[in-house]
Amino acid sequence: MNFNQFLCTGAIALALTGITASASAQTQGDKASRLSLGGYGEAVMTRNFYSDNIYRYTRASDHKDDGSHGRFDLPHVTLNIGYDFGHGWTMGSEIEFEHGGTESAVELDADEAGEYEAEVEKGGEVALEQFWINKEFSKVLNLKMGEIVVPVGATNKYHMPTEFFTCYRPEGENALFPCTWHQVGVSLWGRLTDWRYEVQFLSGLDSERFGSSSFVHYGANSPYEFKIANNYAASLRIDNYSVKGLRLSLSGYYGSTFKNTLRSIGGATYKDVKGDLLIGSFDFVLDRWNWIVRGNADYAYLSDHAKITAFNKAFPTHSGQDGSPSKHQPVAKNAYAVGIEAGYNVFSQVEKLKDDQKLYVFGRFEKYNSYAAGRQKAAYGWCENTRVAAGVNYFPVKEVVIKGEWSKRFLKSGYNNEPSVSIGVAYCGWFL
């Protein structure tokens, strides 16, 4: 090989190397463009001007003049990861740290004869709230499988901190239903012109975890490494976008909740008990003319509530220490929540600010009752709440909001009202 041949061969090799490197970079770029990375987070400081004593409802008069108390909190911090595999296949996931997550460890204590001790250094929860695979056949038909959000009510579907004005999620739905409600299941969903639908097949809730002030809020949780599915359930949501800036939505849920347990029920007393749960919900949002107005109305019915109450209150304990998942509380037959909030962007009237920043002045009203009907209702009058709130939401950029709020719960006669002041900061966005 002469010198000229050597140069020609080398040039070809370099060209091929450049092409290969370029193709590899393009492939890596394509992969990177398919990756989605984001999340949201909230930090809140609150001063509650009422008693935090555990007997503030059952012995209300004893705690009428108790001092205020403050809290610093990280209600929710999440990391969302998604990926587009191509050919209509996508993946989504969300890891959520509630109230700062948990910090626990096992230590060998040298001061107590070398005993092992479980140390809980910080409360909170860490949960995989979403993990699903979605296959898009068309815009009208998608199949989603895995840990999915159950879109019943306004808050479960729209729970990002930029999707409500208050520092914490709206109380009514959060007090009654799992929030954010997520379960392993299968979903069919799609959109046709101005309509969007979603229908889901899920495991039923667990009536052992129902309570008086929480209704079915904890029913989607499981104390085991898996979710029991002796009973099944279905949910449905329909959204309409026919009017510009307005969304109208209906959602519902139906499923049995009793015997969704590993425990042997037995006996004729509970033979025909099903604990059927029926939820109906309407919600809307109007985002137009510099106004945002949101509202919801939810109603729930639980059959066999008296039998469920008797069963839960008789839940056995072990060696005098209660390790059961049951709250040992009466459960209501009916529960409801209604709420509305409205905010106006005052920066829309300021020429220098209206394009880059927003400042919403808002008010909110809600009424909810986790024990609206059922045996022993009179003893649980404190479960009926009317709450008003007013404040501001300042958006220096689209993804960041600073919140300030005054609120007050008005309880029935015989109980003490509960005013509070909160300041919070939150973000919500995609980094990739």
Q: Partners of 199 in the beta sheet? A: 188, 236
Mind listing the pLDDT tens digit of every residue in the chain (432 residues)? 543 443 344 443 434 344 344 444 444 556 668 999 999 999 999 999 999 888 899 888 889 989 999 999 999 999 999 999 999 999 999 999 988 777 666 555 455 455 555 556 667 778 889 999 999 999 999 999 999 999 999 999 999 999 999 999 999 999 999 999 999 999 999 999 999 999 999 999 999 999 999 999 999 988 788 888 999 999 999 999 999 999 999 999 999 999 888 877 777 888 889 999 999 999 999 999 999 999 999 999 999 999 999 888 876 655 444 566 777 889 999 999 999 999 999 999 999 998 999 999 999 999 999 999 987 788 889 999 999 999 999 999 999 999 999 999 999 988 999 999 999 999 999 998
The pLDDT of residue 326: 75
The residue extents of the domains of the chain are 44-73+137-338+346-356+367-383+426-430
223 with 266: CB under 8 angstroms?
A: no
Distance CA 226, CA 261 (A): 11
374 with 334: CB under 8 angstroms?
A: yes
Reduced to 3 states (helix: H, G, I; strand: E, B; else coil), residue 63 is helix
The pLDDT of residue 316: 63
- Amino acid found at 168: Y
Query: 29: burial class by Cβ within 10 Å (0-12, 13-18, 19+)?
Result: exposed
Query: 400: burial class by Cβ within 10 Å (0-12, 13-18, 19+)?
Result: middle
The pLDDT of residue 285: 98
The pLDDT of residue 374: 83
The pLDDT of residue 30: 65
50 with 96: CB under 8 angstroms?
A: no
Q: Can you list the alpha helix ranges (DSSP code H) found in 240-324?
A: 305-313
Query: How far does CA 202 lie from the centroid of its chain?
Result: 17
